[in-house]
Amino acid sequence: METIIKRIDLEREKPEDAEIFCEASRILKKGGLVAFPTETVYGLGGDALMPCAAQNIYAAKGRPSDNPLIVHIGDFDAVDKLAKNVSEDAHKLMKAFWPGPMTLIFEKQEMVPKETTGGLDTVAVRFPSHPVALRLIRESGVYVAAPSANLSGRPSPTRAEHVIEDLDGRIDMILDGGPVAIGLESTIIDVSGKTPVILRPGYITKEQIAGILGRIEVDPAILEEHVQEHLVAKAPGMKYKHYAPKGQLILVEGGSMEQVSTRINQLVEEAMGQNKKVAVIATKESRDCYKAPLVVTIGSRQDEESVAHNLFAILREMDTRGIEMIYCESFEREQLGQAIMNRLLKAAGYHVLHLN
């Protein structure tokens, strides 16, 4: 299949944009797939109410079909069409964080097919804020089911180039809106039970959510290893191998910045002794401490948003460069750090070296 790729300039609306969104809408309405930017990561969209569109999404991504999709909406009224028993807490969260990087899990209406929800009686709903996502949803009139637009198991795409890398020739269309702002997927909160629970940490932190609700629970599987063995992850997608670069990523933590960099430098030397291609993922604060053939800066510890923004692109760069061993510092598990560490731990297959 030939994938149509169209650039949308966010700064300046062009007359030809109308035809592009028209074509994207036609594709969605006939069950086809359109990748589009959101403020978090690129999504791979299909009509959430068409079972065959969901099947097409699973096939294009190579994703197990028991892993449910998030339904993207373009206005608040859509919630009651898709969801039942929307709680008071859910209303508070919607008011505080939508449109934006938050997904809520509700009991589903009959209209939502099981193909979209991976067989569950609940549905994940998100109202994104990105102008391209909103225009696509609103002009097509479609509720857009969209997982991240990567091949299953690869890091989520934060630029159109990443989507092209993974899905060119496998989907109908890609809308290229340039690099996304946030770079980590939305925070998922289950509001279908008595107490809201965070199932996946994201840009909206548990501290912010607690600020609105007064309290919030966190699925203990979030920062734990071997989820399948002793904890059942409530977001089915969280149990799969994720974000993994082809090389082995190892996180080093505990001790001062100097102790961490000294240990990483030793590990780099050992790996180079075994003729491995090695890289270090450093921060702006620490990068000058490393002696390695490749040192990439993920961002600044003073600005964790920069770390979130660059994380997935750096994991992809490791693959492009054929890196076999990757050493990375770890981050605090508070605030945005919780989401950053959740993704890094998965990418590392939970390989963490604790100093001391």
The residues that touch ligand TXA, with contacts defined as CB under 6 A, are 38, 40-41, 43, 67-70, 103, 105, 117, 120, 122-124, 126, 146-148, 185-186, 188, 199, 234-238
- Of the candidates 10, 5, 342, 349, which has an alpha carbon nearest to the alpha carbon of residue 172? 5
- Of the candidates 143, 147, 177, which has an alpha carbon nearest to the alpha carbon of residue 72? 143
Shortest distance (Å) from residue 40 CB to ligand TXA: 3
With CB under 5 to 8 Å by kind, the binding choice for 146 among Mg ion, ligand TXA, none is ligand TXA
Residue among 193 and 211 whose Cβ is closer to ligand TXA: 193
Residues in the chain: 356
Integer CA distances (angstroms), 266 to 51, 262, 286, 327, in order: 53, 6, 16, 11
Quote the CA–CA distance of 249 and 318 in Å, as a whole number.
Answer: 10
Shortest distance (Å) from residue 338 CB to ligand TXA: 16
CB of 279 within 8 A of CB of 293?
yes
Shortest distance (Å) from residue 129 CB to ligand TXA: 11
Quote the CA–CA distance of 200 and 103 in Å, as a whole number.
Answer: 9
Pairing of strands 122-126, 83-84: unpaired
Shortest distance (Å) from residue 195 CB to Mg ion: 26
Shortest distance (Å) from residue 298 CB to Mg ion: 20
With CB under 5 to 8 Å by kind, the binding choice for 99 among Mg ion, ligand TXA, none is none
Q: Name the segment binding Mg ion (CB under 5 A); options: 95-103, 147-155, 161-169, 317-325.
A: 147-155
Integer CA distances (angstroms), 251 to 136, 278, 347, in order: 39, 14, 10
Residue among 79 and 323 whose Cβ is closer to ligand TXA: 79
Integer CA distances (angstroms), 144 to 29, 57, 203, 274, 320, in order: 10, 11, 21, 48, 31
Angle at 152 between CA 94 and CA 327, to 5 degrees: 95
Three-state DSSP at 337 gives: helix
- Of the candidates 223, 12, 215, 199, which has an alpha carbon nearest to the alpha carbon of residue 124? 199
Q: Name the segment binding Mg ion (CB under 5 A); options: 144-152, 222-230, 277-285, 320-328.
A: 144-152
Integer CA distances (angstroms), 193 to 90, 161, 187, 215, in order: 11, 39, 17, 14
Residue among 182 and 323 whose Cβ is closer to ligand TXA: 182
Rounded to a whole number of angstroms, the distance between the first and last alpha carbons of the chain is 54
**Of the residues 40, 116, 148, 152, which one makes contact with Mg ion according to CB under 5 A:** 148
Quote the CA–CA distance of 84 and 258 in Å, as a whole number.
Answer: 53
Residue among 57 and 264 whose Cβ is closer to ligand TXA: 57
Shortest distance (Å) from residue 235 CB to ligand TXA: 4
Residue among 127 and 327 whose Cβ is closer to ligand TXA: 127
Residue among 181 and 212 whose Cβ is closer to Mg ion: 181
Contacts of 26 (CB under 8 A, 6+ apart): none
With CB under 5 to 8 Å by kind, the binding choice for 179 among ligand TXA, Mg ion, none is none
Q: Name the segment binding Mg ion (CB under 5 A); options: 53-61, 86-94, 145-153, 158-166.
A: 145-153
With CB under 5 to 8 Å by kind, the binding choice for 68 among Mg ion, ligand TXA, none is ligand TXA
With CB under 5 to 8 Å by kind, the binding choice for 120 among Mg ion, ligand TXA, none is ligand TXA
What the block records as the tokens of 326 is 């990757």
Shortest distance (Å) from residue 148 CB to Mg ion: 3
With CB under 5 to 8 Å by kind, the binding choice for 38 among Mg ion, ligand TXA, none is ligand TXA
Q: List residues binding Mg ion (CB under 5 A).
A: 148
